[in-house]
Structure 1
């Protein structure tokens, strides 16, 4: 066998044949697109030949609430006893819960005819001037109040504070402010209990307050609002106040609004 020529180039090694995958995939993709476009075009053609389906009317009285009255029939207004708005615009004192049978009037400052003046209302706060100014901002309108005494030392006072109707929410703001203080130790020290029949009302029974040389002091309160009327109920005694006492009184007052 002759010796290889050192000057000759090495033989070329043939590469293995590869499949032309790219071309196959491209052909499949093109076919799929053509099929999709064609199917869509056929679908539009079928729809175009069909009769149009009418859409349901936007105004459907049958689904309205409250149901529309029959033709020719007029709405009957609520009687005054059931119209809360009408009651609230009348004599606010008539909405106060009546004092229990046998209870004695317990007159408070400024109460000569069932009305409490704004300055007297503000005077019971820790900072009267600030409270008075804040109530003006809330657009306080009028205050009806009633207080009485039962037994030897039990005192009860109920206030209806009405605010002017408008963009503000005076009654709600005032009640939420008062409720925010109740968890503090110097007040009820708790979140209180929900008042049945009200979405916002709560009642509180305070821990006993003892001081040398004085009788024990027990206190309970309730706060809630309905519409533009905020309700405050105060109860104090030298004996323990049952939770049902403040709750039932608050429920009776709520039922009158």
Structure 2
């Protein structure tokens, strides 16, 4: 008889055993929670920033203050102490104080019409005053001008107009602005100056400086000729004096000399 060899029992793989086991007997698989590490890192970063900021403030607070550099100006223009009684400067008179003069009725500062001239019968001339809306309507882009004038703290308007020598028409307008953060009179004057060299909208030239005004200029336009109409001549003067902008226009069917517009502008400047 052949000897029987003992053959060891072969164990099935664990996967097979696990597969053979009933579903209810399988151990539950553990799932690693997500996001916890990210939260820890974010919290550490925040704590690092806060701690660094606090440390920086602490270090800066303990340092001695850095002295400011010396002033470039050796002395001040005004006295360090008040002047003794009786040596204070005299207050400006109403004649010399420009603010007192311009705070009154602005119409009284308008240049007077020449002898023989007739006051224009236009509606706005009767009262000699106009509000912001009425003044803005004189411009082609009235909506834009309304916004600009309001932003510049438009205060009031005064003007006059007259007719002389049959075909000459003259208007003088003063626009005053409040004491806001923007120098409204200067801004308004600069806006008008900006387009005067233009051939279509302006005089087509840079004009001439009005002496004694600071920034004033007067212009003589090119003649406007159209078939069936008399030739049109025009001149304009603009200047700013403190919180007031002056705008002067002259229209005629005959040539207007530079002297005519300059003398008129100088008279109005003298009134201000």
Whether the TM-score (by the shorter chain) exceeds 0.5 is yes
Choose 1 or 2 for highest CA Rg. Answer: 2
Could you say which structure has the greater relative contact order, defined with CA pairs below 8 angstroms and 6 or more residues apart?
1
* 1:154 aligned residue: 168
Which consecutive unaligned segments of at least 5 residues does structure 1 have? 1-57
* 2:226 aligned residue: 211
* 1:105 aligned residue: 119
Secondary structure of 1:110's match? helix
Decide whether aligned partners of structure 1 residues 165 and 171 sit closer, same or farther in structure 2, where only a CA change above 3 A counts. Answer: same
* 2:263 aligned residue: 248
The runs of 4+ residues in structure 1 deviating greater than 6 Å are: none
User: Structure 1, residues 137-194: CA drift from partner, whole Å, max 9, x if none?
Assistant: 1111100001111111100000110001121110000000001110000121111000
* 1:87 aligned residue: 101
User: Structure 1, residues 21-47: CA drift from partner, whole Å, max 9, x if none?
Assistant: xxxxxxxxxxxxxxxxxxxxxxxxxxx
User: Structure 1, residues 200-235: CA drift from partner, whole Å, max 9, x if none?
Assistant: 000000000011111110000011101110110000
Give the counterpart of 2:193 among 179, 182, 206: 179
Secondary structure of 2:124's match? coil
Is 1:142 aligned with 2:142? no
State the shift of 1:80 in Å. 0.8
State the shift of 1:102 in Å. 1.1
Q: How far apart in 1 are the matches of 2:75 and 2:144?
A: 52
Aligned length: 196
TM-score (norm 1): 0.72
Q: How far apart in 1 are the matches of 2:130 and 2:254?
A: 28
Give the counterpart of 2:136 among 116, 122, 125: 122
* 1:76 aligned residue: 90
Which consecutive unaligned segments of at least 5 residues does structure 2 have? 1-73
Secondary structure of 1:248's match? helix
Q: How far apart in 1 are the matches of 2:123 and 2:146?
A: 16
